[in-house]
Structure 1
């Protein structure tokens, strides 16, 4: 399959409606952020350099077949993937793995632009088995976990990670963290805590605009002593 890649930016919004249509189909409401958060991320990319926001889209011909979004976190020289999705009509063709590889390529460019020789790690959140309720949800959860493992991600241990509430009325959600180390040394617990701190600051505070008191409370529940700000 020949995939042509493009990026959505504040200056290139041509395909954003197609992406939002796919996003609304693929992700259930409980994990969907408002479309405005994506636009906030694009705006953020202009003013938080060398941090960056990547919004990648993949096409086969005229058909949108995948997209992914994520943040380059200069403070920890790592990439944080927020969303990755494949068009349900064209799954099982290796598209997801190629989309991950494209994100890694772009994060690595960000790392070099920030003065590093290469990217340190890529991290992402996935649901835990406690969040699934039906056999179909359980099967999909297991498939996602296996997909990330096949792509060299391993589940981080030792930190009871919480995704902060995406909507005002929600509670923080316990999730798994999967991390792909791109250097020889494994990230320690302290390294991962620093990455979480950077995720909370760059993604959930600056882009999502979640109150820092809420975020600091989540960090406290994760037994992280340092406050966000």
Structure 2
């Protein structure tokens, strides 16, 4: 398995990876392609945005994206997905390890060291009615735990809905610390990553995002 970091929306891998993304995620829970296009082209964030494509025999089998936030030396993994035909073959694990590596490279370039922390979001069992959904949520939690991510317990975290006309959703926030960080460091880092993703990346209304941050105590 090999990986390519896509830096241009004209790269054929960009379209192939988004085709897989739209195949995996239902339209009501996925972000518009414009979010990915904007993140790769915006002068403000493109240099610290990672669009990572996993390949096997020249076929796209995984995708992960993430934003590095330089002021706090922290990062936010936005997506981690594996093609259904290639699950349970360590593709997801290798992809997670690779995007962590790429985000740490950003930290090395800016601060001369790895990122202090990486965060990601994942829906928990309480978000599902079906047993299948609950089982998948448990599997994701166990997967992230094995890779050093723990749910941050002291925050009622919410995510802006990808469909901007719909209300925000409660979701679990996982954090992986590379240094022993105190709350007064972790919380500002989460806030900065949240702004970087949801204002600068997704172009949500600034006032709306700040209201969400205030409601979370961030």
Unaligned runs of 5+ in 2: none
Q: 1:35 aligns with which of 10, 33, 57?
A: 33
Alignment of 1:1-229 (within 5 A): 3-10=1-8, 13-44=11-42, 46-48=43-45, 52-183=48-179, 185=180, 187-224=181-218
Shift >3 Å, 4+ stretches: 46-49
Unpaired runs of 5+ in structure 1? Answer: 225-229
> Superposition RMSD on alpha carbons, in Å?
1.6
Superimposed CA distance per residue, residues 143-186 of structure 1 (whole angstroms, 9 cap, x where no aligned partner): 11111011111111101111123323111111111111112x1x
Aligned residues: 218
Q: 1:91 to 1:175 in 2, by over 3 A?
A: same
State the TM-score, normalized to the length of structure 1. 0.89
The separation in 2 between residues aligned to 1:156 and 1:135, in whole angstroms, is: 24
Q: Give the whole-Å Cα distance in 1 for the aligned partners of 2:18 and 2:162.
A: 17
Instruction: Return the alpha-carbon distance in structure 2 between the equivalents of residues 202 and 48 of structure 1.
Output: 8
How far does residue 192 in structure 1 lie from its aligned partner after superposition? 2.7
In 2: Cα distance, 1:192 partner to 1:132 partner:
29
* CA distance in structure 2 between the aligned counterparts of 1:223 and 1:60, rounded to whole angstroms: 43
Q: Distance in 1 between matches of 2:130 and 2:212?
A: 28
Conserved in 2, the CA contact under 8 Å of 1:81 and 1:123? yes
The answer (yes or no) to whether the contact 2:68–2:74 under 8 Å persists in 1 is yes
Maintained 8 Å contact 1:53/1:69:
yes
How many Å separate the matches in 1 of 2:19 and 2:175? Answer: 29
**Residue-by-residue CA offset, 1:67-123 (whole Å, 9 max, x unaligned):** 100001112111210001111101111111111111111111100110232221111
